[in-house]
Amino acid sequence: MITLSVTAAAKRVWFDEANIWLELTDGRQLSVPLAYFPRLLHATGKQLQQYELSGGGTGIHWDELDEDISVEGLLLGIGDRTKSTAKTK
C-alpha cells in the first residue's frame, strides 16, 4: 500500500460576493461557496478581511467571527461542522 502525505497550505485568501478563494503554496487556486460557512456568509466585508493564516497556512482563523477553517478540509469538501445534529420536534 502506498501512502501519500501532502500538506496543503494557503498563501493568499480573498473573497467575492459568493465565495472564499484561496491560492495555495503549490500554485493551485480553490474557491468554496460562502454558503458552506454561515458565519462567513453573514459577515461584513471588513470582518472577512480580518483573518489570520495559522499553522503555516494550513488553517484560516477569524477571531471576531469565532471561525476556524482547515485548508485540507476545504480540499476534501468539508463545510461547517458546528451545525447541530439534534432533531427538533
DSSP 8-state secondary structure symbol assigned to residue 63: T
Sheet holding 19-24, edge to edge: 10-15, 19-24, 29-33
- Distance (Å, rounded) from C-alpha 69 to C-alpha 48? 13
Check residue 3 and give its pLDDT. Answer: 58
- Which SS3 state, helix, strand or coil, does residue 9 take? coil
Cβ distance 24 to 8 under 8 Å?
yes
Number of structural domains (the chain) is 1
The answer to whether position 83 is within a domain reads: no
* Residue 86 belongs to some domain of the structure: no
Distance between CA 53 and CA 37 in Å, rounded?
A: 17
Asked if pLDDT for residue 48 goes beyond 70, the answer is yes
| DSSP at 55 | G
Average confidence (pLDDT) over 62-84: 88
CATH number of residue 43's parent domain: 3.30.2020.40
Q: Domain containing 54: what range? A: 10-75
In a domain, 70, yes or no: yes
Asked if residue 44 belongs to a domain, the reply is yes
pLDDT tens-digit series, residues 2-46: 655 568 999 999 999 999 999 999 999 999 999 999 999 999 999
48 assigned to some structural domain: yes
